[in-house]
Amino acid sequence: MKKVSDYFGMNVFNDAKMQERLPKPIYKALRKTIENGEALDITIANVVAHAMKDWAIEMGCTHYTHWFQPMTGVTAEKHDSFISPKGDEVIMEFSGKELIKGEPDASSFPSGGIRATFEARGYTTWDPTSPAFVRDGTLYIPTAFCSYTGELLDKKTPLLRSMERLSDEAVKILHLLGKTEVTRVATTVGPEQEYFLIDKDLFNKRVDLKMTGRTLFGAKAPKGQELEDHYFGAINTRVAAYMRDLDEELWKLGIFAKTKHNEVAPSQHELAPVFTTSNIATDHNELTMEIMQKVAEKHNMVCLLHEKPFKGVNGSGKHNNWSISTNTGENLLNPGKNPEKNTQFLLFLAAIVKAVDEYQDLLRITVASAGNDHRLGANEAPPAIISMYLGDDLDALVHSIIKGEDYHSHKAARMQTGVDVLADFKKDNSDRNRTSPFAFTGNKFEFRALGSSLNIGCPNYMLNTMVAEELSQFYEALKNSIDVEVVAKELIKQVFTEHSRIIFNGDNYSGEWVKEAERRGLLNMKTLPEAFEKLLDQKNIDLFAKNNIYSEEELRARHEIELDMYSKQINIEGLTMQQMARKDIIPAVSAFIHELADTAVAKKAVSKQISTKSEEKLIVSLSDKLDKFIRLTDELRDEVCTASSLTDPQEEASYYQKNVIPKMEELREVGDRMEMETSQKFWPYPSYTELLFSV
C-alpha cells in the first residue's frame, strides 16, 4: 500500500520543490511575487524556468504547455517540446521568456468581436501564484490569456484582478480598525462538485449524450429518486474503485480532494476538496473536472458534468463556499462568540449584504447557462431569485441592529443524543437552509446556484469585485471619522436597514416566496437571455470599470460571447433532436407498427375469430403520435432555421429560448410517450432504466 503522504503533490512543482531546487535569493524573490503580487524580473524567471525544466525532464516530460482558460468554458493548451537543435543533435531548453510568455494563435478563441481575425495575436502569461504541474509527459504552466492590445480573453485574469481589489480594500478597512499588521487579504473557496457516472457502452449508443451532454429524449424510469435511497447510500464496488483512482490522481496533483459521497439522484455523486485561495481553487476545480472524465474512461464509464443530463431526476450543481481571510490567519467571516460586539465582522457582513442586494443581477448572470436554466427554480436548486440566508441568530442580530434594540447572542446549545455511549457535541448556530442561493454557514457563505460545469472563476470574480466596491465606499465613509467605531456602527445600521430585503430565511422553493420576492422588488430572471439583458446596465459597467476588472468594451464582448454560446448550444440540441427523430425514432416506430400489423394479419390468417383488437389499438395510438411527431419535427426545423438567421445576439438567444426550447419540449413529450408504447427491441436507444442503474 502506498502512503498518501508519500505521493501527495508529486506531480506539482510546489513550494517544497522550489525551495529545494532554487538558489535562495531566487526562491525569496519568487515568494515575494507569489505572496505580495510584486512584478517578476526576467533574470529570476530564467533561473526558475531552468529548474522547472530539469524537474519536468526527471518526471519524464518532453513538452511544456501554457495552460489557460479562454471564454469557451474549457481549458486550452498548446504543447511545445523542449528540444532545441544543436548541430545534428538536440538539447533540452526552456527559457524564462518561454515560461513567462506564450503566443497561441488567438483567432479561434471567442473574443466577442474585440479582435478582428487579422489581428489574431494573443498572449499567455505565467501566473506564478498557481503552481506548475506535470500531466502525461507535459509540463503544465497556468497562465492568463489576453489579446495583443491587452484586452482580456480569459476567465483567470478578472479573477486575479478582483482578488487584488478585494485585498486592497479590505486591508484599508482593517487598518482603520487598528489591525495594521494585516498586509494582504485572500478570498478562499471550496467548491463541492456534483457529477453523474454512466456506463460507456450505453453512452455510446446515445447520440444526444455524445453531442450535447444531456438526454434529449427518454421516458421516465419506473424508479427515480423517490425513495431517496441513493443519497449518502453505500458506494458500490465499481464506483468505489473509480473514486479511489480519482482521489489518487488528484492527490498526485496536490489537489485536496476530501469528501465523496452518493448524491440524491441514482448514479449521481459528489466530490469536495478542502478550500484554498480562489485562484488555485479555480485551477484545481478545472483540473478536477478534466480528471474526473479521464479516470471514468479507464473504468469504461463516462462522467457527465452537464447540469441536467436526465429529465425528471435532479441535475448537478456546484456549491461555491467562499470566505475572506487575512495573511495573519484570521477568517473575516467568523462572527466569534459575540457577533453583536464584533464591529469588524458586522462591517464585512454589511458589505456583503449590500453587495448581494445591489448586484443580485450579476450573481444571477454569473450562474446562467443553457444547462443551468433547467435547474434554477425547478425545486432541485435555488430559484432564479437571488437572496441570502443568515440563520436565525444572525438574522435576529441584524434585526435588532435595525430596530436599535439590545441583542444577546444565544449560547450554542449542546446536542444530546440521549444515548450514553454517544458523545454530546455543540450544535451549529445556524441550521442548514438547503433552499437558499446564498447561505451563511458559520464562517463562510455558500453560493449554491452554480451549475456543475461552470468555471468557478466567474462567480468568484463577481463576488470579489462587488464586495471590494462596497468596502471602498465604506472606507470613504469612515476614513475621516474621529471615532471609527461609532461611525461604523451607524453605517452598519444604515446598510442593514436599506438592504434587509435581500435577507430571506424561509423556504426558497415555495410559491409564496416568488410572490413575496416580487413584492420586495427582487429580480426573478428565469433564463439566460433574460438575465443577460441586465449585464450592460450602467451600474454594472461602472462597477467593472471603476474596479479595473473590465473596460466597457470587454464587458460588451463578454455579453456577446455568452449569448452566442447559449444560442449555439440550443442550436446543436435542436439539430440533434431532429436527427434522432428522423434517422432513428421515426423508422423504429414505423417498423414496430409494421410488426404489429404483420402480427394482426398472421392472427387473422389462422382464424378470423381471433381478436386483433390490441394490435389495432396500439397501431392507431402509435400512428397518431407518429403523425404528430413528424409534424413537430418539421416545426422544430423551421424554428431552428428562423433562430439561426437572426444576427443580433440578444435577439437570437431570446428566440431560441422562447420558440425553439418549447418546441423541443413538445417534440420530446410525444417521443417519450411513443417510447413507452414501443417494444424495447425496436427502440433505438438505451432506456433511462438502463442508463441510470448501469453502474
Query: Which chain residues interact with ligand ADP by CB under 6 A?
Result: 188-190, 192, 272-275, 321-323, 331, 441, 443-444
Beta-carbon contacts of residue 204 (< 8 Å; ≥ 6 apart): 210
Q: Which is nearer to Mg ion, 131 or 191 (CB)?
A: 191
Is-contact 162 550, C-beta < 8 A? no
Q: Please count the other Cβ atoms lying within 10 Å of the Cβ belonging to residue 308.
A: 25
Least distance in Å: CB of 624 to Mg ion?
48
| Per-residue mark of binding to Mg ion, 296-325 (x: CB under 5 A) | -----------------------x------
272, interface contact from Mg ion, ligand ADP, none, CB < 5-8 Å by kind: ligand ADP
Q: Based on CB atoms, which residue is closest to ligand ADP, 162 or 188?
A: 188
What is the closest distance, in whole angstroms, from the C-beta atom of residue 266 to ligand ADP in the complex? 23
Residue 292 near residue 303, CB atoms below 8 Å? yes
Cell 502512503 identifies what position?
3
Residue 246 · residue 295 · CB < 8 Å? yes
In this structure, are strands 138-147 and 63-68 parallel, antiparallel, or unpaired? parallel
Alpha-carbon distance 122 to 474, whole Å? Answer: 38
Measured between alpha carbons, how far is 653 from 72 in angstroms, rounded to an integer?
Answer: 17
Q: Which residue is nearest to ligand ADP (CB)?
A: 190
Residue 668's binding partner out of ligand ADP, Mg ion, none, with CB under 5 to 8 Å set by partner kind: none
Task: Output the smallest distance, CB 273 to Mg ion, in A.
Answer: 12
C-alpha cell at 473: 465606499
Q: For Mg ion, which is the closer residue by CB, 331 or 481?
A: 331
Give me the least distance between CB of 274 and ligand ADP, in Å please. Answer: 5
With CB under 5 to 8 Å by kind, the binding choice for 331 among ligand ADP, Mg ion, none is ligand ADP
| Residue 275 contact partner, candidates Mg ion, ligand ADP, none, CB within 5 to 8 A by sort of partner | ligand ADP
Distances from the Cα of 498 to the Cαs of 211, 495, 554, in angstroms?
A: 48, 5, 32
Contacts of 413 (CB under 8 A, 6+ apart): 426, 427
Binding residue count for Mg ion, defined by CB under 5 A: 1
Q: Which does 459 bind (CB under 5 to 8 A by kind): Mg ion, ligand ADP, none?
A: none
Which residues 6+ apart lie within 8 Å of 180 measured at CB?
A: 174
Which single residue brings its beta carbon nearest to Mg ion? 319
Q: Give whole-number Cα distances, 669 to 591, 626, 664, in Å.
A: 20, 12, 9
Residue (of 434, 445, 340, 349) closest to 393 by Cα position: 340
Alpha-carbon distance 600 to 274, whole Å?
Answer: 64
- Least distance CB 446 / Mg ion (angstroms): 6
Minimum gap (Å) between residue 65 Cβ and Mg ion: 34
Which residues, 117 to 156, sit near Mg ion by CB under 5 A? none
Residue 188 binds what, of ligand ADP, Mg ion, none (CB under 5 to 8 Å, by partner type)?
Answer: ligand ADP
Shortest Cβ 348–ligand ADP spacing (Å) = 13
Q: What residues from 334 to 373 belong to the interface with Mg ion (CB under 5 A)?
A: none
Contact 57, 92 (CB under 8 A): yes
Smallest gap from residue 319 Cβ to Mg ion (A): 5
**Smallest gap from residue 386 Cβ to Mg ion (A):** 18
DSSP-assigned beta bridge partners for residue 319: 192
R_g (Cα) of the chain, nearest Å: 28
- How many C-beta atoms lie closer than 10 Å to residue 162's C-beta? 27
CA torsion, points 479, 489, 433, 282, in degrees to nearest 10?
10
Identity of the residue, 273 or 686, whose beta carbon is nearer to ligand ADP in the bound complex: 273
Q: Please report how close the Cβ of residue 264 comes to Mg ion at its closest, in angstroms.
A: 13
Q: What residues contact residue 300 under an 8 Å CB cut-off, 6+ apart? A: 199, 200, 201
Residues near Mg ion (CB under 5 A):
319
